[in-house]
Amino acid sequence: MSGLGFEILGQDGAARRGRLTTAHGTAETPAFMAVGTAATVKGLTSAQVRATGTEIVLGNTYHLMLRPTAERVAAQGGLHRFMNWQGPILTDSGGYQVMSLADLRKITEEGVTFKSHIDGARHALTPERAVEIQELLDANITMVLDECTPFPVDEAEAKRSMERSLRWAARCKEAFREREGYGLFGIVQGSVFPALRRASAEGLKEIGFDGYAIGGLAVGEGQELMFSMVEVTLPHLPEERPRYLMGVGKPGDLVGAVQRGVDMFDCVLPTRSGRTAQAFTPRGAVNLRNARHQDDPRPLQEDCPCTVCRDHSRAYLHHLFRADEMLGPILLTEHNLTYYQSLMAGLRTAIEEGQLEAYAAAFEAGQAEGDIPAREG
């Protein structure tokens, strides 16, 4: 019996409307998880994150094991208390971050040894240690340690990498301590090779996990190829368990993946873009540094529920970024997360009402239309 509850409440084609239940509350799916890598969604308090509609956040094993260390977080009562987030938390295993260190790390069958990007100290991360760290953090959803295959890569190398990840996944399952309200997710690898994706999914299913992630995508392969890998993978995963597409993505990526049956997402895009003056809206992305906003008294988005659109003008947001005021990134991060969560809420309602295709068509039409022309005050 799974320690995590997952109930499918409705379907529209391949898309699913569900509910994930953990020891720290529920998350409605399809869900977008705000990225709080180092125990913070950059620039926002936990109360502000919750106000955007976010129900589940993501932390990262690699960053937290280095600073402040998992043991220190555990001594403070776990990650929920440490960052004052009372909802569910998923922690990435750190595999992606370690693999991105390139010449600073070494991979063996035992695990990965690497030098910290902070102080150069050497560390080891094994499947067993990755699980231990995530338990110390008190993550509701623990991710297996995997080898995130680089892109592009030849099929032989992708196969070797995928098979090692499967062996590591089995060791993570052995190390994981089952508790009510907590779960362990496997991660499908195999790069852009359909046969490898299928083999990885089948291997993980045989081991048995509380949920299944699709990793190794959104690394430069393009949306069309990403969607095709999702399509070849999902039929080989258990229908009754949640499906998580890691590191995705742009609003159009979310809509297309939900249509194909994905339940969970995370991506730094809404928060990172908020720090660089890019806002997401139903009519596409908007650059607030652009001079056309400097005299515009309108809100960023007329019908947005966030306090940014309620209380501030485009002209003010433009001023904050041109003046390098820290409030600019804070406000735009709040808006972007609110937009992403509103998009997910719309997708959930559309699935419930059997109107997903119409919702997706309206979304695409709005994005293609572009931003409303500037108007001076």
* pLDDT tens-place string over residues 299-351: 999 999 999 999 999 999 999 999 999 999 999 999 999 999 999 999 999 99
Main-chain dihedrals φ then ψ at residue 114, nearest 5 degrees: -155, 160
On whether the 16-267 domain is CATH 3.30.200.20, my answer is: no
The residue to which tokens 């196969």 are assigned: 159
Instruction: Provide, rounded to the nearest whole percent, the portion of the chain with pLDDT above 70.
Output: 98
Considering the chain, what is the average pLDDT of its residues? 96
Task: Write out pLDDT tens, residues 156-174.
Answer: 999 999 999 999 999 999 9
Lowest-pLDDT choice from 103-117, 302-316, 354-368: 103-117
Q: Is the peptide bond before 30 cis (omega within 30 degrees of 0)?
A: yes
Reply yes or no on whether the pLDDT at 81 is more than 70.
yes
* Contact by Cβ (8 Å): 191, 149: yes
Positions of CATH 3.20.20.105 in the chain: 16-267
- Terminal-residue alpha carbon distance, the chain: 61
Reply yes or no on whether the pLDDT at 1 is more than 60.
no
Residue type at 326? M
List C-alpha distances in Å: 224 to 113, 132, 192, 239, 377.
35, 37, 11, 23, 42
Task: Write out pLDDT tens, residues 170-205.
Answer: 999 999 999 999 999 999 999 999 999 999 999 999
Instruction: Provide, rounded to the nearest whole percent, the portion of the chain with pLDDT above 90.
Output: 91
Task: Write out pLDDT tens, residues 241-273.
Answer: 999 999 999 999 999 999 999 999 999 999 999
Q: How far apart are CA 29 and CA 226, in angstroms?
A: 21
List C-alpha distances in Å: 151 to 159, 198, 201, 244.
13, 18, 19, 20
The stretch 206-216 carries a mean pLDDT of 97
Q: How far apart are CA 332 and CA 308, in angstroms?
A: 8
- State pTM to two decimals: 0.97
- Name the token pair of 10: 């409705």
Tell me the catalytic residues: 92, 266
Reply yes or no on whether the pLDDT at 374 is more than 80.
no
Strands 264-266 and 243-245, by their bridges, are parallel
Q: How far apart are CA 346 and CA 49, in angstroms?
A: 19
**What pLDDT does 377 receive?**
53
Residue type at 120? G
Strand partners of residue 5: 21
Alpha helices by DSSP H, listed for the chain, are 46-51, 61-66, 70-75, 79-83, 95-99, 127-137, 155-175, 194-207, 223-233, 251-260, 269-275, 307-311, 314-322, 327-352, 356-369
